[in-house]
Every structure is written in structure tokens, then in C-alpha cells.
Amino acid sequence: MFKHILAPLDGSKLAEAAVPVAASLAQTLGAPVTLLHIIEEDAPPEIHRDHHLRQADEASAYLKNVAERDFPLGVAVDIHVHTAAVKDVSGSLVEHATGEFQPDLIVMCTHGRSGVRELLYGSIAQQVVAQGITPLLLIRPRTGASIGFKLDKILVPLDTGPAHDASLPVTQQLARAYQSNIHLLTVIPTFGTVAGETAATSSLLPATTAALLEIDVENAAEDLQEHLDELKNNKLQATAEVARGDPATEIVRHSERLPADLIVLTTHRKAGTAAFWARSVAPNVVRRAHVPILLIPLL
């Protein structure tokens, strides 16, 4: 599963929201962690109202302090500062992830509801996921004292088709490590929430579209039952259901209803990063959900 975790930090308290999650995963899974800071060219003196780390020595001291302060004894933590200033921080992170370190997982904060967050979607998260290589765990920033990380309930939205089953092996291993409950969810659009080519077809053939959607519901229920039987045969606690409506809306709604501690989503690898981010359900879920989201790129 996850044998090496990479946690990029910029020195801000917002970014540090990812640290308790990385520490918990590292301790529970026995995985080493690399804390990474990339020196940005012409960086502003502040980032998210905190001091921006612009010098290699202060960045090294900061990462060392985080490693000693926030990680349990016995967890192997390495630090790395990319000292050559770069203009494209997100591109540099992708290079580190796919080249020098090759982690199994990147853990980072979404940086809040702001233009910065949208910039993040358009750069770091987008590029990493679109590479189709490294799973990315996005953490919402927290206010006030840290409450640590728990993983009692995992929500796993599954689209139709075997490709999206790629999220299940990781989910099973996490659930076993944390003794979590798994909830499988497939969302079939209603007649009023279909999109893309199906939406165009629905206006011309409404009765046919409605009938096909009902068939999709039946097929989804059968697929979920097979997954549910497999999970229970593997001695895991699991439930499953089919919902109707807009996929992103229903995923967020179910994550709040459970409530879920983690959403595991597979994401399509597109020919271009802009195409991925424009068409995927994932960014809509990330923008609206209040829990960590694990994005698993499909090759």
C-alpha cells in the first residue's frame, strides 16, 4: 500500500493541517515520511498570513522542528529542502514526486476557500493527479486546536465499470489498519441531472433515457452487492447503496450524513490537465466536502 509518504510544507499553519494525518498514517502503516519544502523564486514575505520560508537554512530548521514536534517516536522522518529557487512550485513538486522520491502517497492541505485554493486546483493537485502516478490525499485546513486524525468511516464512491474498482484495494488495507467501516456508494443521475452526451440524448429520447437510467440503477445494485460480499468475506465491515442525483452533490451529502472521515475517489487521467480538471467529478467534491479526500489516478 503506502510505503513512503511525501508531505510538502510551505511554513504556514494552513499547510500544517496535513501533518497530523501524515503522522497517523506513517505510524499506523509503518511508512517513512519525507517533509519537503521548495524555495520559490521571488517569494512574498508572507503566505497565508504566516512567514514565508525563503531561505534554505530557515526552511531546514522549520522542517526539523515539525519532524521532532509532530511525529511519534519510531516514525522515520526525513527532511528535504529544494534550495534552487523555482518559479513553478507545483511543477517542481511533480518532479520530486515522479523522480527523486517516488512516494506512494502525497499528503497536503487544500489551503482554504480562496483564490489560492483555486490556484492550487489549477496547479499542484491538478498536475499531480493528471500525471496518473501518485495518489494524493487532500486535507481541509482546521481552525483551533488540532484534533488529530481518525478513520472510523470511509466513503467509497464507485462509478460503473471495473476501472473505478481501483480504489477498493487501498480502501481495504486502510480499513483493516484502522478497523474502519466502509460505505460503498454509486450515484446514478436522474433524468434532470444527466450531463454530457447523455443530456443531449435525453432531450431527444426522454423515455429511452429514463429507461436506461433505471437499468443503470439495477446494474449498479448488482455490482455493489458483489463488492459488499467480497468485503464481508474478507472480514471487513461494509455497507452499500445506490443514490440518484448529481454525483458530486450526492457524494458530499452522503459524506455528511454518515459522517465519513475519508472519501476515496478514483480520477480519470486526461490528455491534458485542463481537461481533467474541467470534466472530473473530483474537483467538485473537493471544493464542497469537509473531510479528507484521497484521489487515486486511473492509469
Question: Which of 87-101, 184-198, 225-239, 243-257 comes out lowest in average pLDDT?
Answer: 184-198
Q: Whose CA is closest to 158, among 282, 284, 266, 299?
A: 266
- The domains located in the chain, with CATH, are 5-139 (3.40.50.620), 153-294 (3.40.50.620)
> Could you tell me the pLDDT band of residue 95, with boundaries at 50, 70 and 90?
confident
Taking the C-alpha atoms of residue 125 and residue 295, their distance in angstroms, rounded to an integer, is: 9
Tell me the C-alpha distance between 243 and 217, whole Å.
9
Say which residue, 274 or 41, is predicted with more confidence. Answer: 41
Average model confidence (pLDDT) across the chain = 82
pLDDT in tens, 213-259: 888 899 999 999 999 999 999 999 999 999 999 999 999 999 999 99
Residue 275 pLDDT > 60: no
The β-bridge partners of 78 are 34
Largest CA distance in the chain: 67
Asked whether the beta carbons of 35 and 67 are under 8 A apart, the reply is yes
Task: Please report which confidence band the pLDDT of residue 80 belongs to, taking 50, 70 and 90 as the band edges.
Answer: very high
Between 199 and 287, the more confident residue is 287
Angle between the N-to-C axes of helices 56-70 and 19-29, in degrees from 0 to 180, rounded to the nearest 10: 60
**Neighbouring C-beta atoms of residue 204, cutoff 10 Å:** 8
- Which has the closest alpha carbon to 240: 281, 182, 173, 171? 182
Residue 128 pLDDT more than 80? no
Between helices 206-233 and 196-204, what is the axis angle to 10°? Answer: 140
Higher pLDDT, 208 or 69: 69
Q: What is the pTM of this model?
A: 0.86
